[in-house]
Amino acid sequence: MRILYFYQYFTTPKGAWGTRVYEFARRWAQAGDKVTVVTSVYDKSDLKPSSLIGTFDIDGIEVKVINVRLSNKHGVIPRLWTFSAYALVASWYALTRRADVVVASSGPITVGIPGLVARFLRRRPLVFEVRDLWPEGAIELGYLRHPWLIRLARGFEHLCYNASTVVVALSEGMAEWIREFYGFDRTVVIPNASDNALFGAHDDEPPPEGLDPSRPLVIYTGTLGVTDDCAQIVRAAEELQRRNRSEIDVVMIGDGKERVMLEEMAREKGLANLRFLGLMPKTEVARWLRRARCALITFREVPFTDTMSPNKMFDAFAAGVPVVQTTQGWIRQLTMRERCGITVLPNDAAAAAEAILLLVDDPDLRDEMGRNARRVAREQFDRDVLAGRMREGLYAAAKGRK
């Protein structure tokens, strides 16, 4: 099967971003499929082309890198330019590249443009992958305000759904929203996955440089952006310090638009227990995560974030680390049902600090939740299983089955 995959944020484990497309595609290539990924230059990726179009062979995947640069630190206008330029050039591949099935992975929603070109001009089966609810997220965060822009964005989103043989949603909450809001029921849920090989136990591994083994480690790994609202972590660290628990080392690994603001906030509060380590490869993140007492997951308190499928959670589960998290949707239900983490209300620093202290101070509870997290990673979110499930869906789409 020839698979053409449009995704603007492609990276490998050498980069500092989610590797879902890389991990799925390399498994499909190993199974005998011919996979072409058309991407752009993301500042957290390890791919840096030297020409307008870079071509890489990565573990059997043909990767076309359009040299337009994307960063979460960019403002609205540069991001719109990058999204539009990518969609325009990627449409050339939609017109010229042979494919049995085409995948368009959103966001941004503009990745649907080459998908629609392949669907309507080349009559290729289209699978639309929804990583987050757009434009709903942009509306709730206040980026889209004008009624005509909202109508236009929702109309385009609806077009992408209707043109698709199937829509892949990364959580049941996303699938439910698509079914209820648009009446589109050809959906399948394939969440982000746990890399049990990369993040699993490495018993003889030395501690990463900069880690003080004598201090309990609490960790955040991911984007420091508006949606993530990591100021909640700064306030939780302040609450720990107020309770004379500054020996707990709160470490934030990542970068994003709000990093400078967060660092300034920490300095103003005099937080000696909070450190920012910046971006690092996934392989190095794994070394830190395996040493943590718990992993932190925060999002801004708006409805669409309750449907999120964050890579950082699946990484923590694979490492056998329980999470303290703030969403109130499917992840809350999962952590309660499987006893693999603690959910607190957003913007409740006292509750977050209590949850952290519970996992730091109670090794029996922490070990139980850690075992449950690792079990969930293997039984429900194993990358091999989910890659195979999506491949089955692509085969069905290529053969014209709904």
Are 122 and 148 in contact by the 8 Å Cβ rule? The answer is: no
**CA separation for the pair 20, 90 (Å, rounded):** 20
* Torsion angle in degrees (nearest 10) through CA of 287, 170, 132, 39: 70
Instruction: For 35-64, write each residue's pLDDT tens digit.
Output: 999 999 988 788 888 888 999 999 999 999
Measured in whole angstroms, the distance separating CA 339 from the mean position of its chain's CA atoms is 22
Residue 357 or 132, more confident:
357
Q: Name the pTM for this structure.
A: 0.91
- The CATH number of the structural domain formed by 2-193+382-398 is 3.40.50.2000
pLDDT at 142: 85
Quick one: pLDDT at residue 143? 80
The pair phi, psi for residue 67, each rounded to 5°, is -80, 65
Both tokens of residue 271? 């937080």
* Exposure string for 242-252, b = 16+ CB within 10 A, e = fewer: eeebbebbbbb
H or E element at residue 128: strand 126-130
Query: Which residue type is seen at 283?
Result: T
The answer, yes or no, to whether residue 107 has pLDDT greater than 80, is no
Q: Give residue 401's pLDDT.
A: 54
Residue 384 pLDDT class (50, 70, 90 cuts)? very high
| Domain spans of the chain, in order of start | 2-193+382-398, 196-379
- Residue 269 vs residue 138, higher pLDDT: 269
Tens of pLDDT, residue by residue over 225-279, are: 999 999 999 999 999 999 999 999 999 999 999 999 999 999 999 999 999 999 9
* Number of neighbours of residue 86 by Cβ within 10 angstroms: 24
**Distance from the Cα of residue 282 to its chain's centroid:** 13
Q: Check residue 293 and give its pLDDT.
A: 97
92 has pLDDT over 90: yes
- Sequence-ordered strand ranges (E) for 141-206: 166-169, 187-189
Q: What is the mean pLDDT of the chain?
A: 93
Per-residue pLDDT, averaged over 183-205, amounts to 88
**In the CATH scheme, what architecture does the domain 196-379 have?**
3-Layer(aba) Sandwich (3.40)
Lowest mean pLDDT among 197-211, 225-239, 293-307, 387-401: 197-211
Q: How far apart are the C-alpha atoms of 394 and 24, rounded to whole Å?
A: 12
